[in-house]
Structure 1
């Protein structure tokens, strides 16, 4: 074979082998650079979308009704706390919002607090555009508490809940401690404490002979009916008889259905004497 042709053949093979390898490397490098750039763009877009969603979420929370009622609860709790600390003077709505750090509320929420929420709240009292706390018992000092308990005792109303006293009496713990044995504490089954007036006039000494006689009578095995019968035989009336007796309602007798007579309304009175009665059958013509 001609040596010139062989040389051209070898040069052609070298060119053919060199060209595809260079093209493949460039394609691989280009595709790799594109792949590296894409996630960067995705990260930036995702972070911006997250920021926008977070900003929209915070905006929606402040505009929701839950945020509005949360502001109301915070105001009522603050007014209760300052009343218990002795700050009983009234405040304007702007002063309340300033002290509770609720200055970022909207104008419509402020109008709702002023015209609806605070006015209709049972624990808030309104005076000439100012607001104060309204407890169940408005007590100024320990003497007012003692008068309240004495009044409840005389009227037979029982005691007063400790939480109601703490709500209406500033520095209630100090006042209750100062009254000492003039108050009796009773704990209910639901763990709530009740205050009673300790009427010392009802405290009297009983002779030991009467105490021994009282304790010597066994009544554990006797029911209430037998005790009542024994008291009646001894000429002693029980407390149940002194109270108002229940009057049983008188049962009306039901009328039998057969004796009832039906009454029908009469119509066409202006035709009296002209109409004929067919209730007993067809009348016989004369």
Structure 2
């Protein structure tokens, strides 16, 4: 039987390879990989603790914005309450409500105690459209009108005092079932639309309505005034002994404009030279002096 003898150099390299393999085992590499993975998993846990620990933070653990903790949500709740109070007032529900009843009817029961306290002590108390009575709240319109008679009295008063008309928006805000009341008044009200498309209500005073004879109407329409200047019309009226409406009204006093002093008008003082020749030199600024 033949036996092969291995090269001693190959045997030495084999022993060295075994020693290197034993010095760097594969088990330690797996353990290091598992340790690195555990560190990665701990990072979001630390972020969760830090985010939940801060009371005034507006961001959740996943980075989303906390809407209920923002000031926009707070003022949005206030706007919702004011609009609700206005709507119920227009529908005829004018009795006052507590804050809990308002939050219940507006479905804002999930607000925090801090926001509720802000509504009670600051927001609703200082709002110009909310009236407070003994801890209860109601809507406060510009004109508090109960019925169509109250609206007619308001328009009549404005007409007598020369205050003009009343905005339809203000009437709808303060008069419950305003559309029905305005329709019932009929021709006692005159509508005028402003350039900004807003409607104004005026009292239609029927005592000022009178019939004008057709002869006077023809004379009035026969006078052409389109091409005549207003100053000429006023001058013609003065010659006929008729005063215009502009003179009876309050005259506007124009502010007196102060004249600015011009710097060039100030007298300048120049230094005089050649004082030693005062008796010899003559002044020719006004022309040639006449010899005496």
Q: Give TM-score, length-normalised by structure 1.
A: 0.69
Q: Is the 8 A contact 2:155 2:165 kept in 1?
A: yes
Q: Distance in 2 between matches of 1:169 and 1:91?
A: 19
Q: Distance in 1 between matches of 2:278 and 2:108?
A: 86
Q: Distance in 1 between matches of 2:62 and 2:181?
A: 51
Q: Distance in 2 between matches of 1:269 and 1:97?
A: 98
C-alpha offsets along residues 180-205 of structure 1, whole Å, 9 cap, x if unaligned?
00000000010000000000000000
- 1:244 Cα deviation (Å)? 3.2
* Structure 1 pair 77–5 and aligned structure 2 pair: CA distance change class (3 A): closer
C-alpha offsets along residues 218-257 of structure 1, whole Å, 9 cap, x if unaligned?
1111010111111111111111222233445567899999
- Which residue does the alignment assign to 1:176? 182
Q: Distance in 2 between matches of 1:134 and 1:21?
A: 81
Q: Distance in 2 between matches of 1:123 and 1:76?
A: 7
- 1:70 Cα deviation (Å)? 0.6
- 1:216 Cα deviation (Å)? 1.0
Q: Distance in 2 between matches of 1:3 and 1:252?
A: 121
Q: Aligned-residue CA RMSD in angstroms?
A: 9.9
- Which residue does the alignment assign to 1:227? 233
C-alpha offsets along residues 108-139 of structure 1, whole Å, 9 cap, x if unaligned?
00000000000000000000000000000000
- 1:30 Cα deviation (Å)? 21
C-alpha offsets along residues 156-187 of structure 1, whole Å, 9 cap, x if unaligned?
00000001000000000000000000000000
Pairing 1:33-182 to 2, within 5 Å after superposition: 60-182=66-188
- 1:60 Cα deviation (Å)? 1.5
Q: Alignment partner of 2:254: what SS?
A: coil
Q: Distance in 2 between matches of 1:17 and 1:206?
A: 125
Q: Alignment partner of 1:246: what SS?
A: coil
Q: Alignment partner of 1:112: what SS?
A: helix
Q: Is the 8 A contact 2:131 2:137 kept in 1?
A: yes
Q: Distance in 2 between matches of 1:202 and 1:180?
A: 18
Q: Alignment partner of 1:284: what SS?
A: coil
Q: Distance in 1 between matches of 2:174 and 2:212?
A: 39
Q: Alignment partner of 2:34: what SS?
A: helix
* Structure 1 pair 210–106 and aligned structure 2 pair: CA distance change class (3 A): same
Q: Distance in 1 between matches of 2:79 and 2:72?
A: 11
C-alpha offsets along residues 43-65 of structure 1, whole Å, 9 cap, x if unaligned?
99999999999976677211111
Q: Distance in 1 between matches of 2:14 and 2:268?
A: 132
Q: Alignment partner of 1:176: what SS?
A: helix
Answer yes or no: is 1:26 the counterpart of 2:15.
Answer: no
- 1:268 Cα deviation (Å)? 42
* Structure 1 pair 115–213 and aligned structure 2 pair: CA distance change class (3 A): same
Q: Distance in 2 between matches of 1:259 and 1:15?
A: 108
Q: Distance in 2 between matches of 1:148 and 1:269?
A: 88
Structure 2, unaligned runs of 5 or more: 1-5
* Structure 1 pair 177–263 and aligned structure 2 pair: CA distance change class (3 A): farther
* Structure 1 pair 207–103 and aligned structure 2 pair: CA distance change class (3 A): same
Q: Is the 8 A contact 2:58 2:69 kept in 1?
A: no
Structure 1, unaligned runs of 5 or more: none
* Structure 1 pair 37–86 and aligned structure 2 pair: CA distance change class (3 A): closer
Which of the pair is proportionally richer in helix?
A: 1
Q: Is the 8 A contact 2:129 2:141 kept in 1?
A: yes
* Structure 1 pair 176–18 and aligned structure 2 pair: CA distance change class (3 A): same
